[in-house]
């Protein structure tokens, strides 16, 4: 297959598997999505979805959030990990949204990245999922699969994002990044990986990755 054919095969396979794409993090508006994505750093979506209802019951907008003490936020979000830094970031960004943006979450990637605790990936998720602006947030699943499929060198997420944006049509970015995440979780995980179930990697994958998988499987 040519690179273009591999890209087309990937897009078509993902579309067949995920014609309707669920959003991993529960939210009701850009602010609650922003907080949920911030909380998901080095945690799982399942854990975050268990905690955010407790937090949003107390405060689901920046005006209510700043009424809580940082220690109160920290106590609620403790199960997701990194609670000292995340609680300060949530309180701090809520103050900035009130003071600078009339309590609204900005749509601009650069402005989002200036908020406490908000990196490029978090900002990209927000502009993509909350505002429908084309972006390609790269998480560990996408980083892993872009390498397995031979679409990126896999050296770092910055390069992986550039490669993804170069290979895939811009109008598909928002759906594709979610489809790849779900595919990675269900068919091509980092551990307990079964190549026979991973139709995309089995069909177009990097030969060295497939050889290494077969070598490990043969060894036991």
Q: pLDDT tens, 82-136? A: 999 999 999 999 999 999 999 999 999 999 999 999 999 999 999 999 999 999 9
Instruction: Specify the 3-state DSSP secondary structure of 167.
Output: helix
Q: What is the pLDDT of residues 123-150, one digit of tens each?
A: 999 999 999 999 999 998 999 999 999 9
The torsion of the CA quartet 81, 87, 92, 93, rounded to 10 degrees, works out to: 50
* Positions of CATH 1.10.340.30 in the chain: 30-131
Q: Examine the residue annotation and report whether 121 is marked as an active-site residue of this protein.
A: yes
Give the pLDDT score at 116.
97
Q: Is the pTM of this model over 0.75?
A: yes
Distance, in Å, from the CA atom of 3 to the CA atom of 135, rounded to the nearest integer, reads 22
Assess if CATH 1.10.340.30 describes domain 30-131: yes
The phi-psi region of residue 69 (left if phi > 0; otherwise alpha if psi is between -120 and 50; otherwise beta) is: beta
The catalytically annotated residue of 26, 78, 88, 139 is: 139
Q: Examine the residue annotation and report whether 170 is marked as an active-site residue of this protein.
A: no
Give the pLDDT score at 155.
85
Q: What is the pLDDT of residues 33-81, one digit of tens each?
A: 999 999 999 899 999 999 999 999 999 999 999 999 999 999 999 999 9
HSE at residue 139, side-chain half, CA atoms within 13 A, is: 25
- Tell me: pLDDT of 217 over 90: no
Give the pLDDT score at 150.
97
Residues 82-91, buried b or exposed e (16+ Cβ, 10 A)?
bbeebbebbb
Q: What radius of gyration, in Å, describes the C-alpha atoms of the chain?
A: 19
Q: 98-103 contacts: CB < 8 A, separation 24 or more?
A: 98/62, 98/63, 98/66, 103/61, 103/62, 103/63
**Would you state the CATH architecture of domain 3-20+137-219?**
Orthogonal Bundle (1.10)
* Positions of CATH 1.10.1670.10 in the chain: 3-20+137-219
Give the pLDDT score at 220.
67
Give the pLDDT score at 130.
95
Which structure tokens are listed for 14?
């993902």
The catalytically annotated residue of 6, 121, 163, 198 is: 121
Report residue 216's pLDDT band, with 50, 70 and 90 as the boundaries: confident
- Tell me: pLDDT of 154 over 90: no
């Amino acid at each position: 297959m040519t690179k273009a054919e591999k890209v087309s095969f990937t897009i078509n396979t993902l579309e067949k598997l995920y014609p309707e794409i669920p959003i991993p993090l529960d939210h009701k508006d850009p602010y609650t999505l922003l907080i949920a994505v911030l909380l998901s750093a080095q945690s799982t979506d399942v854990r975050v979805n268990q905690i955010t209802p407790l937090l949003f019951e107390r405060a689901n907008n920046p005006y209510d959030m700043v009424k809580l003490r940082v220690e109160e936020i920290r106590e609620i979000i403790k199960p997701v990990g990194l609670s000292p830094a995340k609680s300060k970031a949530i309180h701090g960004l809520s103050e900035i949204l009130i003071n600078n943006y009339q309590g609204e979450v900005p749509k601009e990637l650069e402005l989002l990245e200036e908020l406490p605790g908000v990196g490029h990936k978090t900002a990209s998720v927000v502009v993509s999922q909350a505002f429908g602006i084309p972006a390609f947030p790269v998480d560990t699943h996408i980083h892993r699969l872009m390498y397995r499929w031979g679409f990126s060198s896999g050296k770092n997420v910055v390069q992986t994002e550039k490669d993804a944006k170069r290979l895939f049509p811009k109008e598909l970015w928002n759906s594709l990044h979610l489809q790849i995440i779900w595919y990675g979780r269900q068919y091509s995980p980092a551990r307990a990986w079964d190549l026979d179930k991973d139709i995309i990697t089995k069909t177009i994958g990097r030969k060295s990755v497939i050889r290494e998988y077969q070598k490990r499987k043969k060894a036991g």
